[in-house]
Amino acid sequence: MLSVKNLSVQFPTDDGMVAALNGMDLQLHRGETVGLVGESGSGKSVTSQAIMGLFKETRAKISGEITFEGTDLLALSEDRMRTFRGKKIGMIFQDPLSAMHPFYTVGSQIAEAYRVHNKVSRKAAKQVAIDMLARVGIPDPKKRVDNYPHEFSGGMRQRAMIAMALVCEPELLIADEPTTALDVTVQAQILDLISELQAETNSAVIFVTHDLGVVAQLCQRVVVMYGGQCVEQASVREIFTAPSHPYTRGLMASMPHLSGEDDRLTPIPGSPPALLDLPSGCIFADRCEFAALVPDNRCQNERPQLLVTGEHAARCHGHEMSLLPKTIKVGA
């Protein structure tokens, strides 16, 4: 359904080109939920925004391929892309307070999203918004439809945001860290809501997060990102039981026990790569505890390819050459 291949996105800055994505790959099937996992700056959000075509008519340089149901999205004009946005691909943003327009009512913003793709009257669109609010579990939607975003609580706002993203029943929903700004209890409700609605509409979901716990709960498949690349993708089970890439292993190791507190630490030594000046070899090499195992300084000199074995793919010389120690199962 969706295929992202060798996608690169560069932003010009005063200091030079920032390579936000460096050959990103991602596959998605109908009805599937994929978790897009990685640290801040790994390119998760850039990937989702590139799929939405939000870099069109900006100074960002894009290359590679994004195919959605046979359509090359990168080749589309802004106007053609508009017919995909909201209608076929919906998006939920991280902070619903800043992502919703402060000066318009929640209802009118939902109705607007509907009306732009469906020729209906204002009144009918408002009814759609009310129904949608009811569907996402907002009590007394007839009254709440005329409220402004600031009059909603955080969780309610995210529900409204979801209502806005799903009002046209898109085939693909991109949820960009939808729970980050919310309390833990509300987070769970929102996650439940997304999976419920997904079940109802049978849409595919890309779930962008850095919370592996959320991934475990919601997704079938996981794509791990690092330095603007997909370093590993596999089913949730595989990732958790047999992570191939050293970075994924580090993530797993750093993941607190599910019973424990979620403080989202990534205690892998070192810091993410500087996107202004990427190494020519493996992007993870200077943080990798196994890089020394690979002979001839390959990790430092040669960029590894994404090696696909069945449903599992990884981008690592050590893995490719089977030099890595066996993985241990993490979690309880």
Partner 1 sequence: MIGFLFRRLGAMLILLLVVSFITFTLFQFGPADPAAASCGQECTPERVEQARIALGLDKPFFVQYLAFLSGLVGPRMLGAPGAEQVCAWPCLGKSFQTNENVTDMIANALPYTVSLTVGAVVLWTVVGVGMGLFAALRKGKLADRLIVGAASFGVSLPIPVTGLVLLLVFVGTLGWLPFTTNAIRSPFGEAGFFGWTTNYLLAWIALAVLFSAQYVRITRNNMIETFSEDFMRTARAKGLSRGTIVFKHGVRAGITPIVTMLGLDLGAMLGGAVLTEQIFSVPGLGFTAVRAATSGDLPVTMAITMLAAFFIILFNVIVDVSYAFIDPRVRVN
| 323 scored as a contact of partner 1 (CB under 8 A) | no
CB of 162 to partner 1, least distance (A): 12
| 9 scored as a contact of partner 1 (CB under 8 A) | no
| 166 scored as a contact of partner 1 (CB under 8 A) | no
Residue 116 or 216 having the CB closest to partner 1: 116
| Tokens (6 digits) for 133 | 């609010």
Is 145 in contact with 130 (CB distance < 8 Å)? yes
Among 1, 18, 62, 99, binds partner 1 (CB under 8 A): 99
| 93 scored as a contact of partner 1 (CB under 8 A) | yes
Among 21, 60, 66, 100, binds partner 1 (CB under 8 A): 100
| 286 scored as a contact of partner 1 (CB under 8 A) | no
Among 148, 154, 242, 293, binds partner 1 (CB under 8 A): 148
| 11 scored as a contact of partner 1 (CB under 8 A) | no
Among 13, 98, 153, 309, binds partner 1 (CB under 8 A): 98
Residue 112 or 302 having the CB closest to partner 1: 112
| 160 scored as a contact of partner 1 (CB under 8 A) | no
Task: Kindly indicate which of the ranges 75-83, 212-220, 224-232, 249-257 contains the residues binding partner 1, using the contact rule CB under 8 A.
Answer: 75-83
Site string for partner 1, 53-72 (x = CB under 8 A): -x----x-------------
According to DSSP, the residues that pair with 5 across neighbouring strands are 65
Question: How far apart are the C-alpha atoms of 235 and 7, rounded to whole Å?
Answer: 22
CB of 62 to partner 1, least distance (A): 16
Residue 78 or 277 having the CB closest to partner 1: 78
Q: Which of 46, 83, 71 is nearest to 61 (CA)?
A: 46
Whats the size of the chain, residue-wise?
332
Among 63, 83, 271, 305, binds partner 1 (CB under 8 A): 83
| Residue 249 to residues 19, 187, 240, Cα–Cα distance (Å) | 25, 26, 9
Tell me if residue 107 falls in helix, strand or coil: helix
Among 133, 164, 193, 314, binds partner 1 (CB under 8 A): 164
Is 310 in contact with 304 (CB distance < 8 Å)? no
Question: How far apart are the C-alpha atoms of 279 and 300, rounded to whole Å?
Answer: 8
All residues at 6 or more sequence positions from 37 whose CB lies less than 8 Å from its CB, including other chains: 44, 209, 210, 212, 215, 222, 223, 224, 225, 251
Question: How far apart are the C-alpha atoms of 54 and 30, rounded to whole Å?
Answer: 22
| 119 scored as a contact of partner 1 (CB under 8 A) | no
Residue 54 or 307 having the CB closest to partner 1: 54
| 90 scored as a contact of partner 1 (CB under 8 A) | yes
Is 243 in contact with 327 (CB distance < 8 Å)? yes
Q: Describe the crossing of helices 154-166 and 122-135 by its angle, rounded to 10 degrees.
A: 120
Neighbour count for residue 271 (Cβ, 10 Å) = 11
Question: How far apart are the C-alpha atoms of 249 and 226, rounded to whole Å?
Answer: 13
Question: How far apart are the C-alpha atoms of 30 and 44, rounded to whole Å?
Answer: 20
| 76 scored as a contact of partner 1 (CB under 8 A) | no
The site that binds partner 1 (CB under 8 A) totals a number of residues, namely: 30
List of residues contacting partner 1 (CB under 8 A): 49, 52, 54, 59, 78, 82-87, 90-91, 93, 95, 98-103, 112-113, 116-117, 148, 150-151, 164-165
